[in-house]
Amino acid sequence: MSVVILALETSCDETSAAVVADGSQILSNIISSQVDVHRKFGGVVPEVASRKHLELLNRVVEEALAAAGLGFKDLDAVAVTYGPGLVGALLVGVAAAKAFAYGLDLPLLGVNHLEGHIYANFLAEPGLAFPLLCLVVSGGHTDLVLVEKHGRYRVVGRTRDDAAGEAFDKVARTLGLGYPGGPLIDRLAAGGDASAISLPRAYLEKGSLDFSFSGLKSAVINYLHRAAQRGEEVNKADLAAGFQQAVSDVLTEKTLAAAKETGVSTILLAGGVASNSGLRAALTESAGQESIRVVIPAPVLCTDNAAMIACAAYYKYLRGAFAPLTLNAVPDLKL
Ligand code: KG4
Ligand code: ZN
């Protein structure tokens, strides 16, 4: 007997609904991106995001059920991201999930968005053996998480300032590339020489597993300002490649150090920045040299989507960790 979960994800600017069976069989994963709406503002406008979620969510749910070839009667549970994220955006998903659960008399499951990102790895490989080390790199977070067992996490390193995705977005804006910056830098970097422009890498105190990207971001901005003052042309592809390499080097080195320190032999990559080609290549190569296994979800499962939420919810379902109908949005929810 399979367990079919409908999951909703509305924590930021993607309105997503997915139907997943047994935590690994993706029957549908509909993602409606609001990026075109927010692009003209150069970033996500929270109030606009909430209104868009409200407008799109029912349609996205209907589409997810239709694509799965199922109806409401076929569901076993309803899951939703309840934090961290934008409070108004989260509230739309949480209110809808509670209404579905109540109306259909189904159990409700509340999922931490970061837990969802981690579980994108279990969608591909349900049998992953613990303990696991996950590098979560998104627009709001850069965390090294030791996953001791299902639902049990220990954060062993985190950013002290900007998240990796935030640094990508800010550097892209300074380069005049547009929004969201990560994929644009990734594309531009492919045609650049990463060693042409020397940029700093912050390793912090000896043995620290924390990150800092604000110095690197400032170095890129200063480089551009100096060139402008001197009237020099900047090779943007080289600068993008150098920046991407610097971020990937630090993330890779600290992740491998954390794996050794915790004795973990499988590394997971998660979050929007996990779709970065430079990071994927750097981590895969360095871990390979140490005979450590790396699991990286397909890019569409790295950026925000509801299938990853359904997957995390499935393991909560198995251990009976249901949410009450009083579930609320928690914008600063911790792992
Ligand atoms: O996980 P995500 O979709 O949303 C959050 O939970 O924040 O991550 C979004 C972040 C953005 O900062 C975006 O620029 C970055 O992921 N991103 C990338 C790439 N694709 C998305 N960063 C670098 N390279 C990419 N290919
Ligand atoms: Zn995310």
Judge if 4-118+302-318 and 131-298 fold alike in CATH terms: yes
- The pLDDT assigned to 179 comes to 87
Is 4 near ligand 1, meaning CB less than 6 Å away?
A: no
**Is residue 7 very low, low, confident or very high in pLDDT (cuts 50, 70, 90)?**
very high
Is 157 near ligand 1, meaning CB less than 6 Å away?
A: no
Amino acid identity of 22?
A: D
Q: If you measure from the C-alpha of residue 182 to the centroid of ligand 1, how many angstroms do you get, rounded to a whole number?
A: 6
Q: If you measure from the C-alpha of residue 272 to the centroid of ligand 2, how many angstroms do you get, rounded to a whole number?
A: 6
Q: If you measure from the C-alpha of residue 55 to the centroid of ligand 1, how many angstroms do you get, rounded to a whole number?
A: 24
Q: If you measure from the C-alpha of residue 84 to the centroid of ligand 2, how many angstroms do you get, rounded to a whole number?
A: 9
Amino acid identity of 32?
A: S
Residues 6+ positions from 163 with CB-CB distance below 8 Å: 137, 138, 139, 140, 141, 142, 213
The β-bridge relationship of strands 14-21 and 25-33 is antiparallel
- The pLDDT assigned to 43 comes to 87
- The pLDDT assigned to 281 comes to 97
Is 212 near ligand 1, meaning CB less than 6 Å away?
A: no
Two tokens at 12?
């930021």
Q: Which CATH superfamily is domain 131-298 in?
A: ATPase, nucleotide binding domain (3.30.420.40)
Residue numbers belonging to the annotated binding site: 113, 117, 136-140, 169, 182, 186, 276, 304
Structural contact between residues 273 and 241, judged by C-beta atoms closer than 8 angstroms: no
Condensed to tens digits (0 to 9), the pLDDT of residues 132-144 reads 999 999 999 999 9
Round to whole Å and give the CA distance between 178 and 183. 10
* DSSP string of 131-174, one letter each residue: SEEEEEE-SS-EEEEEEEETTEEEEEEEBSS--HHHHHHHHHHH
Q: If you measure from the C-alpha of residue 268 to the centroid of ligand 2, how many angstroms do you get, rounded to a whole number?
A: 15
Q: Of 167, 166, 135, give the one whose Cα is nearest residue 252.
A: 135
- Strands, E assignment, the chain: 4-9, 14-21, 25-33, 77-83, 108-112, 132-137, 142-149, 152-158, 266-270, 293-295
Q: Which atom of ligand 1 is nearest to the CA of 278?
A: 24
DSSP collapsed to 3 states, 70-97: CCHHHCCEEEEEEECCCHHHHHHHHHHH
Q: Which atom of ligand 1 is nearest to the CA of 303?
A: 3
Amino acid identity of 202?
A: A
Is 251 near ligand 1, meaning CB less than 6 Å away?
A: no
What value, to the nearest 5°, has the Cα angle with vertex 116 and ends 57 and 216?
105
Round to whole Å and give the CA distance between 192 and 283. 20
Sorted by where each begins, the domain ranges of the chain are: 4-118+302-318, 131-298
Predicted confidence (pLDDT) at residue 88 exceeds the cutoff of 80? yes
Two tokens at 202?
């912050």
Residue nearest to atom 23 of ligand 1 (CA): 182
> In testing the pocket of ligand 1, which one of 13, 121, 168 has its CB within 8 Å of the most ligand atoms?
168
Is 303 near ligand 1, meaning CB less than 6 Å away?
A: yes
Round to whole Å and give the CA distance between 154 and 274. 20
Residue nearest to atom 21 of ligand 1 (CA): 272
Condensed to tens digits (0 to 9), the pLDDT of residues 215-224 reads 999 999 999 9
Chosen CATH of 4-118+302-318 out of 2.40.170.20, 3.30.420.40, 1.10.150.570, 2.40.50.140: 3.30.420.40
Condensed to tens digits (0 to 9), the pLDDT of residues 93-111 reads 999 999 999 999 999 999 9
Condensed to tens digits (0 to 9), the pLDDT of residues 161-217 reads 999 999 999 999 999 999 889 999 999 999 999 999 999 999 999 999 999 999 999
